[in-house]
Amino acid sequence: MSITLNTDYLKNFINPKEITALSPMVQKAHEGLHNKTGKGNDFLGWLDLPSRITDGFLNELNILAKDVQANSDVLISIGIGGSYLGIRSTIEFLGGATKLPVYYAGHNISSDYLHNLLETVKNKRVTVIVISKSGTTTEPAIAFRAIKKALEARYNSEELKKRIICVTDEKKGALRKIVEKSGYRSFVIPDDVGGRFSVLTPVGLVPLALAGIDIKSLVEGARKGQSEYSVMDLEKNTAYRYAALRYLLYKKGKKIEILSSFYPEMFYVAEWFKQLFGESEAKGGQGIFPASLIFSTDLHSMGQLMQDGERTIFETFVMIDKPQHDVIVPTDAEDLDGFNYVAGKGFDFVNKKAYEATASAHFEGGVPNMTLTLCQADAFHLGQLYFLFEKAIGIYGYLLDVNPFDQPGVEAYKKKMFALLGKK
Ligand code: PA5
């Protein structure tokens, strides 16, 4: 298996019999998803998405990518939430350096941010991809207006058709209307895949291909996840076991899950995870609060809280067996800093010891924790991890008896904002 789950530090918190006893509920959740009879069953397009992506489509994207890379110095990816986080998490996880440098817009409304971005790209050849499933979201819509205006000063309408790509609904929404009027190239987001589950639709695949990411491996990994996490067996199915364990922890009063890792490259994967889990499970006054920490950085700021704060938290570590590169701690003849005792060891070795020490200390401090380990830090395993988390939250949502595929709560602030802005 290329992603494993270690639950040693759940002992004393969860009895194996409790997991076995949960099996019928997991079975019911599994059937609800796979027979499409559960809540929110009109949004289950993600469930078999990896196997429905054709190699022909991936090839088409890679051909387009070559064209765009040849004609551009930078890519601006406009989008927010599910139309932003999966793209950034994939790029950052793989080290951040892409064939075509990517800038992000439309994920905030900061005027300084947009001003600085426009300044940064003003002498560069720009391609823009604007992504919005609804086509009506305020942040990407007004960022697109501003960026398009800046590009119109530099490119004629024929050139703009080559430099603007839209990803949106097949028929609905303002962005689709813009596509129809302008003739911009466009890709369709399937109706039955919600924003936070859309990283493997054109939402993620198009900008990632343009950036030069190995989308074939990403999809291959997700396909492996699709087949591995479809088996109704709590022992064999890591996604189901993880879902069952977090359900038991929640029922024991563990209300906050910290997704902890020892890699800064995981920062945006955790942001993606927080949207996926937070929007899916937090319904009707229920749901674990998903949080994240990057160690060892955050051990020097949040370590006290983790070790000794209120014991309503549990922790899920994400570790990587083989990083892409390792760096050796050099020997120093004088050893003035006293660190020759680790000279000759890899940073990865030291990092893993820091993890082992942290997991053990947190367990002893009353924080149950478990660890997902990816065999390698590559696109394949990230694709598999995306699918693992998607499947886990689907099952967990059904265990909690909520609809994991809607997000009615996010409308409340929008209504007030539109009223304040005078929207008619
Ligand atoms: O999960 C969701 O549905 C949201 O977070 C959306 O992804 C986000 O609001 C962006 O929406 P849209 O793609 O319609 O612009």
Tokens of 20: 């076995």
Over residues 3-54, the pLDDT tens digits come to 999 999 999 999 999 999 999 999 999 999 999 999 999 999 999 999 999 9
Q: Are 132 and 140 in contact (CB under 8 A)?
A: yes
How far is ligand 1, taken at its centre, from the CA of residue 92, in Å?
Answer: 20
Atom of ligand 1 nearest to the CA of 189: 13
Could you tell which of 42, 129, 133, 411 is best to mutate to test the pocket of ligand 1, judged by most ligand atoms within 8 Å of the CB? 133
pLDDT of 424 reads 84
| The model's pTM | 0.97
pLDDT of 115 reads 98
How far is ligand 1, taken at its centre, from the CA of residue 266, in Å?
Answer: 22
Report which protein residue has its CA nearest ligand 1's atom 3: 195
111: part of which helix (H) or strand (E)? helix 111-121
Could you tell which of 203, 279, 410 is best to mutate to test the pocket of ligand 1, judged by most ligand atoms within 8 Å of the CB? 410
| Confidence bin at 305 (pLDDT 50/70/90) | very high
Report which protein residue has its CA nearest ligand 1's atom 5: 81
Ligand 1 pocket: which residues have CB below 6 Å?
Answer: 80-83, 132-134, 137, 140, 194-196, 279, 407
**Whether pLDDT at 1 is above 70:** no
Over residues 192-207, the pLDDT tens digits come to 999 999 999 999 999 9
CA 54 to chain CA centroid, Å, is 22
CA dist 372 and 317 (Å) reads: 6
Closest CA to 368 of 229, 233, 252: 252
pLDDT of 198 reads 98
CA dist 38 and 361 (Å) reads: 40
How far is ligand 1, taken at its centre, from the CA of residue 103, in Å?
Answer: 19
Atom of ligand 1 nearest to the CA of 131: 13
Tokens of 289: 């609060």
Report which protein residue has its CA nearest ligand 1's atom 15: 132
Calculate what percentage of the chain has a pLDDT beyond 90.
98
Report which protein residue has its CA nearest ligand 1's atom 7: 82
How far is ligand 1, taken at its centre, from the CA of residue 408, in Å?
Answer: 12
246's CB contacts (< 8 A; 6+ apart) are 257, 288, 314, 316, 392, 396
Q: How many residues does the chain have?
A: 424
Q: What is the mean pLDDT of residues 114-137?
A: 96
- The burial class, CB within 10 Å (0-12 / 13-18 / 19+), for 227 is exposed
Atom of ligand 1 nearest to the CA of 173: 14
Tokens of 125: 């050849």
Report which protein residue has its CA nearest ligand 1's atom 8: 81
How far is ligand 1, taken at its centre, from the CA of residue 148, in Å?
Answer: 21
Over residues 321-343, the pLDDT tens digits come to 999 999 999 999 999 999 999 99
256: part of which helix (H) or strand (E)? strand 256-261
Q: What is the mean pLDDT of residues 270-289?
A: 97
> Residue holding tokens 């997704």?
259
Closest CA to 399 of 211, 243, 267: 243
Q: What is the mean pLDDT of residues 308-319?
A: 97
pLDDT of 22 reads 97
371's CB contacts (< 8 A; 6+ apart) are 5, 6, 9, 316, 317, 318, 319, 359
Q: One-letter amino acid identity for 7?
A: T
* Catalytic site positions: 279, 300, 414
Over residues 339-383, the pLDDT tens digits come to 999 999 999 999 999 999 999 999 999 999 999 999 999 999 999
Atom of ligand 1 nearest to the CA of 137: 15
CA 328 to chain CA centroid, Å, is 30
Atom of ligand 1 nearest to the CA of 139: 15
Atom of ligand 1 nearest to the CA of 279: 1
How far is ligand 1, taken at its centre, from the CA of residue 201, in Å?
Answer: 13
How far is ligand 1, taken at its centre, from the CA of residue 280, in Å?
Answer: 13
| Confidence bin at 240 (pLDDT 50/70/90) | very high
How far is ligand 1, taken at its centre, from the CA of residue 237, in Å?
Answer: 29
- Our CA dihedral for 90, 34, 57, 198, rounded to 10 degrees, sits at -40
Phi, psi (rounded to 5 degrees) for 43: -120, 40
Average pLDDT of every residue of the chain: 97
Over residues 254-267, the pLDDT tens digits come to 999 999 999 999 99
pLDDT of 391 reads 98
Report which protein residue has its CA nearest ligand 1's atom 2: 195
Over residues 98-112, the pLDDT tens digits come to 999 999 999 999 999
Calculate what percentage of the chain has a pLDDT beyond 70.
100
Closest CA to 395 of 236, 280, 317: 280
Could you tell which of 85, 134, 188, 280 is best to mutate to test the pocket of ligand 1, judged by most ligand atoms within 8 Å of the CB? 134
Q: Are 213 and 90 in contact (CB under 8 A)?
A: yes
Q: What is the mean pLDDT of residues 386-401?
A: 98
CA dist 369 and 363 (Å) reads: 7
Closest CA to 218 of 231, 233, 201: 201
pLDDT of 357 reads 98
CA dist 152 and 150 (Å) reads: 6
Could you tell which of 77, 83, 175, 393 is best to mutate to test the pocket of ligand 1, judged by most ligand atoms within 8 Å of the CB? 83
**Whether pLDDT at 409 is above 80:** yes
